[in-house]
Amino acid sequence: MATQHPTDQTSTTETNDATVDTAPITNTLERRNSLEKGLAHRPEKEELVERNILAGGPAAPALQEKQRELEKHMRADSLEKQLSNRPKPEDLIKEGILNGLSHKEGGRG
């Protein structure tokens, strides 16, 4: 005669000889099914690259971080070079490009 106790934390079945615990099996099956379902609906690598979730390109994943770091430093160097070649506000005022009042007042003109 088998009886189930719905108030127990784990799912058990009592028989005349022993108690059989089915909770771990059920949880394992549920986890496996959930994992399989999640993997079946997982986006493809190409979609993740298009959405900028994964980095694309021919570089190996181990090198991609170094590549990003190098690109960042190259952009910083380029920006620094461009800013150093930028005309001074006084020169722009003399050429009539910048309003002298806005520069003296601390505004951006």
Average pLDDT, the chain: 78
Q: Are residues 66 and 38 in the same domain?
A: no
pLDDT recorded at residue 49:
87
Positions in the chain whose pLDDT score sits under 50: 1-11, 109
Number of folded domains in the chain?
2
With beta carbons less than 8 A apart as the criterion, state whether 76 and 70 touch.
Answer: no
Task: Tell me what pLDDT residue 45 has.
Answer: 87
Residue 64 shares a structural domain with residue 108: yes
- The 10s digit of each residue's pLDDT in 72-95 is 999 999 999 999 999 999 999 999
Q: Domain range spanning residue 102?
A: 60-109
**Cβ neighbours of residue 14 closer than 8 Å, sequence gap 6 or more:** 2, 3, 4, 5
pLDDT at 2: 46
**DSSP string covering 12-41, please?**
EEE-SS-EEE-HHHHHHHHHHHHHHHHHHT
Tell whether 50 is covered by a domain: no
> Residues 64, 34: one domain?
no
Q: How far apart are the first and last CA of the chain?
A: 90
Mark whether 38 and 68 lie in a shared domain. no
Determine, yes or no, domain membership for 8.
Answer: yes
Q: What predicted TM-score, i.e. pTM, was given to this entire model?
A: 0.42
